[in-house]
Structure 1
Amino acid sequence: MLVSSTASFAALGVLSLFARDELGASDTMVTVNFVVVALASMAVMLATGHVSDLVGARRVIVPASLAWLGIGYAALASVRTYPAMLAVGVVFFCAVGVPNAQLMAYARDLVDRREDTAAPTVVIALMRIVLSVGSFTGFGISGLGLAYLGARPLFRVVAVVCLGCLALSWYLLRGHNTDATAPQPVKQQSTDDRRGAQKRTDGGTRLLLILVVVMVLFSSGRIMLLSQLPILVTVSLHAPLQMTGIVLALPPLCELALMPMMAYAALRWGRGKVFLVGGAASVAYYGGLVVVTTPGQLMLLQVVYAVFGAATVIAGLDLAQRLMAGRAGTATSIYLSHENVATVNGSLVAMASVATLGHQIGFLVPGALCLIALALATWAFIRHPDSSDLRHRPPRGQHPLIPAGTP
């Protein structure tokens, strides 16, 4: 995951400049490319997640998707027109989110074998930290690669790295001969038991879909942050250009420290409570952006935004996989698909908000969407306290990382 995510972010960091400077694409055309690829990626992620659960093919899907991406990056290095880049993106980069989603599902399969209720949450936190490190490393490499190699040679290097990840994943997954998703002997159940299990499954699926809608609303301001926060820093706050990079880098840096803390809090007080805390942080963040007047206040708000990212990622993904027990591939793919939908929705939110209210007051719109999402999540969690792990603190004397009943 570290190597593949580093390669993907390295290519992503130069894609916009490559399209504009070498292919003559406008800013609108670049945005359209990201939106179209996001929609294709969502469809492929959902399909592969379902297939991986149905036939237990995670160990095949991961190397195959890495090989497909390697071919795509090699093809991208040879395109000469914007339509060709768009076609390569739809055909090949629709699989960009598949390897990480399937590796997360495979990790869930492995830890579910252990009678340790803390293991899934801890593993999710560790894997998400790896992805954050990969994003830092990848964006750093993209700048150096663009300066010393150029976009096309960098794409070819990324293609080779994907093939290296293919070999590494094949070796890793082939070493586990017992597939966690292999069919298990079916125990005899009464009609009432089957009906009860089906009812719980249907309820979990509905709650998962609500969770995805909530995350789409929470994430709808992300595109606006990328486009308007630098303007807010330099125009409204009159800060130097160097401050822009520091402001953008602060939330992911803080998330590296906050994610283990949020994982511990989720185990101690419940995943639902941690998720709602993250939602409340997002409302406070966008509300603060509307009235912020100094760079110091903005830096403090960026730390608040890191609380939102760490809490919702850790608790949300863990809840999604718990809601569809035994179908980690489908649950992970459904949950992560909110990022693709949010890319499309966020582009519309950013255009409408900035055009009508301006680059600072416009943050009221994503703030209102986050408030709606927080209310919806609170309502759903209260209705399903067990499924959402909305619980009180553990009994006195019980350690949150030790399952109940352990001597």
Structure 2
Amino acid sequence: MVAQTDARRDAHSDGRFVVGWRAVAPYRPLMALMLVSSTASFAALGVLSLFAREELGASDTMVTANFVVIALASMVVMLATGHLSDGGGVRRVIIPASLAWLGVGYVLLASVRSYPAMLAVGVVFFCAVGVPNAQLMAYARDLVERRDDPATSTSVIAMMRIVLSIGSFTGFGIGGLGLAHLGARSLFQVVAVACLACLALSWYLLREGHAVAAAAPHPVTDENTDDRDGVPTRTAGGRRLLLTLAVVMVLFSSGRIMLLSQLPILMRVSLHTPLELTGFALALPPLCELVLMPAMAFAALRWGRGRVFLVGGAASVGYYGGLVVVTTPGQLMLLQVVYAVFGAATIMVGIDLAQRLMLGRAGAATSIYLSHENLATVNGSLVATASVAALGHQVGFLVPATLCLVALALATWTFAQHPEAFDLRAGHRAAGAND
């Protein structure tokens, strides 16, 4: 069955865990598609605020409201498409359709002349911005479950998350260059062309993969079990556990908005950091994630996904708590590396855990899990506003640190109640997995 082959792939026949680039070679075309689509999305995202302020006359509050409203609409669309995508062949339609929808949206965005028009285009079209990547990860899971190869869902997702991080770097860089040399409207048109190119590429790749993934996913029933390491785990109630995992991630991620808005201020006002070092500090966590994600994937397969997830959660508590008392730029750089551990461990492993909780429903599981980012955007805006107003730009980080501590306690308690479902391996089980 699916779970048995998944367990077999976690522990390779020679006792070594396979996480390398060679093991995920069959999935490189999907990664290439994700790289291009994510680069296009981040290129547009990087200039959207300036476009709204400088060309449409939007205030800071209006810009924030735009992101919040789109985040709420995206959550609804993500959940709806995730629910529908697990039907036979539907995922292969949703991926190109969402890319085409985004392409049309960017064309319209390039022509808007007022803030209400931009908001309307955003709600109608950019509510689908997270759909392609979520469905590509679910499609990769489909292929893993049906191929008899050494790759595991954890290693494939780790590599796809690395590609997503690279896409964010590339996209922000292209966005800045495009804004300087082309202008925002021309850049949006270029992004629209990139989306149409992704549409053509996705149509080809998904048609080629039809022979592998044509069979309908196995429905999740009370009889499905995950026989990992000889310990059966019933997947009934997996949706409830997944919702708990999503709530945990909302709490873990609610400090991100405050981090983006207040960390540069903290570095300049309190730490007197040069501007060049400020930019490097913001770029350091994603850079470290490129190295840490394969390492965390290896650790997840070796010692259990649940343990790695909790390590990442503990890193987030230490990070935000450290920001409250940091006094030198050097200490801050060390904290940025700690924050990279959170992203590489908790966010990446969480996707794999979500898909395991709803066997045969990778689309719904991935969409439910990733919807935490939208809720965290809304909640994080409120947290940032209240924390800074009440405590200031440094001590205010105590609020997200407290939220992360609550999330870590909730995750630890839930994982302990359902150790098999969250792959929280005991010492003797981890050792047995190598035999």
How would you bin the TM-score normalised by the shorter chain?
A: over 0.9
The partner residue of 2:161 within 128, 132, 137 is: 128
Q: Is contact 1:109–1:181 with CA below 8 Å preserved after alignment? A: no
1:303 is displaced (CA, Å) by 0.2
Flag structure 2 segments of 5+ consecutive residues without an equivalent.
1-33, 226-232
Secondary structure in 1 matching 2:112:
coil
Aligned Cα root-mean-square deviation (Å): 1.9
Change over 3 Å in CA distance of 1:398–1:324 after alignment to 2: closer
Give the alignment partner of residue 354 of structure 2, picking from 297, 314, 320. 320
Q: How many percent of aligned residue pairs carry the same amino acid? A: 78
What secondary structure is seen at the aligned counterpart in 2 of 1:202? coil
Give the counterpart of 2:114 among 78, 81, 88: 81
Q: Which residue of 2 aligns with 1:344?
A: 378
Which residue of structure 2 lines up, in the alignment, with residue 291 of structure 1? 325
Deviant stretches of 4+, over 6 Å: none
- Check 1:395–1:279 CA distance in 2 against 1; reply closer, same or farther (3 A cut): closer
Contact 1:38/1:94 (8 A) holds in 2: yes
2:183 is aligned with what amino acid? G
CA distance in 2, matches of 1:195, 1:37: 36
> Which residue of the partner structure matches residue 297 of structure 2?
263
Cα distance in 1, alignment partners of residues 313 and 54 from structure 2 = 39
CA distance in 2, matches of 1:185, 1:271: 23
Q: Is the 8 A contact 1:224 1:346 kept in 2?
A: yes
Q: Do the aligned partners of 2:221 and 2:236 also contact (CA within 8 Å) in 1?
A: no
Q: C-alpha offsets along residues 99-130 of structure 1, whole Å, 9 cap, x if unaligned?
A: 11111000000001145686100000000000
Structure 2 counterparts to residues 15-54 of structure 1, below 5 A: 15-54=48-87
Per-residue deviation at 1:201? 3.5
**Residue 200 of structure 1: CA displacement?**
3.2
Per the alignment, in what secondary structure is the counterpart of residue 200 of structure 1?
A: coil
- 1:177 deviates by 2.5
Question: Partners of 2:167 and 2:364 in 1: how far apart?
Answer: 24
- CA gap of 1:295–1:386, structure 2 versus 1, over 3 A, is same
Q: Which residue of 2 aligns with 1:148?
A: 181
SS class of match (2:237)? helix
Q: Tell me how far apart the structure 2 counterparts of residues 195 and 60 of structure 1 sit (CA, whole Å).
A: 29
Question: Cα distance, 1:181 vs. partner?
Answer: 5.9
Change in Cα spacing, 1:101 to 1:229, as seen in structure 2 (3 Å) is same
Unaligned runs of 5+ in 1: 187-192
Matches within 5 A, 1:236-247: 236-247=270-281
Task: Give the aligned partner of residue 306 of structure 2.
Answer: 272
TM-fit CA distance, 1:315: 1.4
Determine the structure 1 residue equivalent to 2:205. Answer: 172
Secondary structure of the equivalent of 1:9? Answer: helix
3-state DSSP class of the match of 2:334? Answer: helix
Give, in angstroms, the shift of residue 203 of structure 1.
2.1
* One of 365, 390, 395 as aligned partner of 1:361: 395
1:56 Cα deviation from its structure 2 partner: 3.1
